[in-house]
Amino acid sequence: MREYLVTLLIAAALCYVVTPFVRTWALKFGAVAHIRTRDIHTTPTPRWGGLAMWIAMALTFAMVSDLSLVGKSFSRETLGIFLAATLLVAIGLIDDRFELDALTKLAGQSLAAGILLIYGVQIFWLPINGVVTLPPSIGQLLTVVIVLVTINAVNFIDGLDGLAAGIVAISGAAFFAFAYLLAVIYGFNRAGSPSLITAVLIGVCIGFLPHNAYPAKIFMGDSGSMLLGLLLAASAITLTGQIDPNAISAEKLGPTLLPLALPLAVLVIPLIDLFSAIIRRLRAGKSPFSSDKEHLHHRIMRSGNTQARTALIMYFWTATIAFPVSISAFTPLWVAGAIFAALLTFTVIFQMQRPELRKKLNAEKVISA
């Protein structure tokens, strides 16, 4: 655990230090988010936060590769994830500067998923009437779908200062806890690679947040959201792909099936936002790639919350779902249920307070009086 925490802290420190330099480069090369009708920010803000995350990730990998425990986590799959991430960041940097069309970005995301497949990052089995090994073509198709959906789900929630980085950090923490406990308690030593990826993922998000929280000094841009989505999807797929389904005993069946459900749990808020937006736009006769101001964070803000408070509310909802699911494989269900109930109660109470709305109503009363 200590080496993974060191890895996390190195990634966080590097990302925090590198981000101001990347911000300067973004301003110099014109990678700036100007004000659009759907945007919440009110001043032009530089992008390319994904470049800072990538630099921090690359340097972290180089610095921890010789550690006794973490060093064993480097594998062919880890190299494939790094190469796919590099491709997406490069595409994202171009998009953040020149605004690529949606189909071009989708093609780039598909190519990144193809790189993962080449390096063995693939879904090999599913929990259907026990454990069923998938034909290679089906497993490859499912892998690509999971990667594309996860990348775009993260991209969809990147519409508020600090929102995507915070949600991904919480999601990564839940997945890291699961992967690490799976290795320690049940002896799945191959869970080290996803533990490494998620430790770096959490670190770069934490290091980036001070620069990206409201009021943001820099946005992660598509280079950042696509990078985070890929790392989250790849770590989950790597864990499931490295477990031999024929070696799973009845005792270990629950914990090893959970990686297939956990990504859905940790990304439930972004996924709800993604699919509701697609349905909403198709019903209106619009392209699913078009933009609007009806995302979850837009609606929460309209109910009387500031940007910072809206981000906190969505953080709490993510944690409420992700952490109970993550620990359910290692504790009695009543313990996970109790934690879920406690988090749910706190989140609902926090969201219902809406102090900014009360201030507005009180001000209106004073004016009318």
Euclidean distance between CA atoms 116 and 113, whole angstroms: 5
Residues 6+ apart with CB under 8 A from 210: 16
What pLDDT score was predicted for residue 250? 47
Helix (H) or strand (E) holding 126, with range, is strand 125-126
pLDDT at 308 over 50: yes
**Per-residue pLDDT tens digits for 32-89:** 987 655 556 567 889 999 999 999 999 999 999 888 878 787 888 899 999 999 999 9
- Range name among 15-24, 48-57, 235-244, 278-287 with the lowest pLDDT average: 235-244
Compare 18 and 272 and report the one with higher pLDDT.
18
Instruction: Using the predicted structure, report yes or no on whether residue 258 has a pLDDT greater than 80.
Output: no
User: What's the CA angle centered on 64, arms 109 and 170, to 5 degrees?
Assistant: 55
Q: List, for residues 97-106, the tens digit of each pLDDT value.
A: 998 988 999 9
Which amino acid is located at 148 in the chain? L
Q: Strand 32-33 vs strand 45-46: parallel, antiparallel, or unpaired?
A: antiparallel
- Whose tokens are 């109660």? That residue is 345
Q: Tell me the pLDDT tens digit for each residue of 181-207.
A: 776 666 665 557 788 899 999 999 999
